[in-house]
Chain A
């Protein structure tokens, strides 16, 4: 049976950039454990002849033509929702760590 511990929850919270208190971690560890048990049930019926599914509808190859659309934004539209900009680019706070 899958289990999740407080350490893993804290790790996930860190990756997701969510600040959790000790109490919240404890609470979520229990809740996530229950969710994982529920998911576990699905595995019980998923025999090897059932392929993994990432989409509920069996469709594939939905492509679009390589043509520029009519929803290209102007720079003003693009920046309209930005908390801060220099008029052409988004301003974000200093990034600690390294460039990707």
Chain B
């Protein structure tokens, strides 16, 4: 496939105004699925189960099986709608979205169409440059997730040329809320950053409500990004593309930026944009065309005859509203003050989509400074190298444990970085890695003294200098000792002991 031509980003922005629209799917973490009492793999308790072990006849669309709505999933959806500033529909209905594809066995997805449970809201999103943007929400509706297909055979492993596919219906029926924004105007050059910050904000909201695990790497949170360009001064919206498969914060930003540059190059040459679904490729940082919008998008929605309308009482809505956590913007302001971070430090945390991680690390006992340092420092560095999000590499508990080991003097910063790499590689908890790799600081003075005496004996000139009062000469000995200890010693303590052994201590 030929590589698409891209226009320089700044030039693209000079010629065109980007308009974006975002669809975010949030998997709810209820115990059971949306319409069936099967265990829900989007709940950590059931995550990672063997294929087709979290299914009931409803999930498989077996004849005679009937869906029944999960009341908790409805309440979670209402809470999310309220947190997005939406109105809650006094009456809403489910609808069938008909299509043939084996990811759902019954040839339709139960969704909501013309009567979503929540509509017309907005959410405040803060950009890395401090700009606060109000993103208008069109609707949030309830639906069920589809099963997972694995394509086997074929030369590329991609779906084209696949010989057959394997289907796991564990995910079929997982409760989803799809949040759809209105077209977002005026973000201008910040559009890619805004897309990322918006999804990050949705994640913060979902987590603070406790309604989703919201882990992007597990697909609990998924984003489709619609991008269109219109020439400066034009009224009419341009043709949009919808980029799917955008599964990390960093790729959301990159995908939107890429589409702006790609579309601008086509439009500037007098070409036209094809309205189509495009797929994001994390490895190459590009999008490729999927299927064009066509007959296949004729979903023939109609009201789901097997389900009854959902009519939440005003009392229930008010009860859920009263239980809402503080809004994201207020929440951030409070945390920033509590943690005593500078603007820059706090932006670092937000940019990495790490607010929840840092908050939970602090809650697990780490100091705010340590929590920030490890998440935005070493873990972000490793994440960038692996082209993923830092949040997917470690848990707040692990980072808190690491911070405690540093605090206790068991690890130096240098050793702690090695331990974190182990954590990111899935080698276990920090303590397990310290034990397995033998990384702890040698705090046994006996071992240090032995190494010091050996180093002093082999460098008599240095010893003489130290005895002459040239304390800075001790550096050579400290270096040799640290080397002998493979870096696993506290340099300050070694220095103390060197001076002591050389006779100048105390």
Cβ-closest 3 pairs across A and B: A69-B37, A63-B71, A54-B303
Asked if A79 contacts B277 (CB within 8 A), the reply is no
B interface secondary structure, majority: loop
Nearest A-chain residue to B35, judged by Cβ: A64
Q: Is B458 an interface residue (CB 8 A)?
A: no
Determine the chain B residues whose CB is within 8 A of the CB of A88 once the complex forms: 50-52, 168
Asked if B38 contacts A69 (CB within 8 A), the reply is yes
Determine the chain A residues whose CB is within 8 A of the CB of B69 once the complex forms: 62-64
Nearest A-chain residue to B74, judged by Cβ: A63
A89/B51 contact (C-beta < 8 A), A15-B295, A62-B308 known: yes
Q: Is B149 an interface residue (CB 8 A)?
A: yes
Mark interface residues in B307-327 (1 if CB within 8 Å of A CB, else 0): 111111000000000000000
Separation of A72 and B296 alpha carbons in the complex (Å): 33
Separation of A97 and B161 alpha carbons in the complex (Å): 10
Q: Which of A15, A59, A67, A100 has the most CB of B within 10 A?
A: A100
Sample 14 A-B pairs with CB under 8 A, ordered by A number: A17-B100, A60-B309, A63-B68, A66-B30, A69-B37, A71-B37, A88-B51, A88-B168, A89-B166, A89-B167, A89-B168, A90-B166, A92-B165, A94-B153
Size category of the binding interface on chain B: 35 or more
- Closest chain-A Cβ to B83's Cβ sits at a distance in Å of 20
Q: Is A49 an interface residue (CB 8 A)?
A: no
Q: Is B87 an interface residue (CB 8 A)?
A: no
Asked if A59 contacts B308 (CB within 8 A), the reply is yes
Interface residues of A (CB under 8 A from B): 11, 14-15, 17, 54-55, 59-69, 71-75, 78-79, 81, 86, 88-100
A interface secondary structure, majority: loop
Separation of A14 and B57 alpha carbons in the complex (Å): 28
Quick one: which of B68, B93, B102, B304 contacts A64, CB cutoff 8 A? B68
- Closest chain-B Cβ to A11's Cβ sits at a distance in Å of 7
Asked if A61 contacts B310 (CB within 8 A), the reply is yes
List residues 30-84 of chain B with CB under 8 A from any CB of chain A.
30-32, 36-39, 50-57, 60, 62, 68-74
Determine the chain A residues whose CB is within 8 A of the CB of B309 once the complex forms: 54-55, 60-61
Q: Is B346 an interface residue (CB 8 A)?
A: no
Asked if B68 contacts A62 (CB within 8 A), the reply is yes
Q: Is B146 an interface residue (CB 8 A)?
A: yes
Asked if B167 contacts A90 (CB within 8 A), the reply is yes
- Closest chain-B Cβ to A88's Cβ sits at a distance in Å of 5
Separation of A88 and B72 alpha carbons in the complex (Å): 30
- Closest chain-A Cβ to B145's Cβ sits at a distance in Å of 11
Determine the chain A residues whose CB is within 8 A of the CB of B307 once the complex forms: 62
Determine the chain B residues whose CB is within 8 A of the CB of A60 once the complex forms: 91, 308-311
Q: Is B169 an interface residue (CB 8 A)?
A: yes
Q: Is B164 an interface residue (CB 8 A)?
A: yes
Mark interface residues in B160-181 (1 if CB within 8 Å of A CB, else 0): 1111111111000000000000
Separation of A54 and B309 alpha carbons in the complex (Å): 9
Asked if B56 contacts A66 (CB within 8 A), the reply is no
- Closest chain-B Cβ to A73's Cβ sits at a distance in Å of 5
Asked if B291 contacts A68 (CB within 8 A), the reply is no
Q: Which of B52, B149, B154, B309 has the most CB of A within 10 A?
A: B52
Asked if B37 contacts A79 (CB within 8 A), the reply is no
Mark interface residues in B1-39 (1 if CB within 8 Å of A CB, else 0): 000000000000000000000000000001110001111
Q: Which of A55, A73, A92, A97 has the most CB of B within 10 A?
A: A73
Separation of A90 and B104 alpha carbons in the complex (Å): 12
Nearest A-chain residue to B294, judged by Cβ: A97
Query: 6 additional contacts, CB 8 Å, given A91-B166, A99-B290?
Result: A62-B308, A66-B31, A66-B70, A73-B60, A90-B102, A94-B163
Determine the chain B residues whose CB is within 8 A of the CB of A75 once the complex forms: 50-53
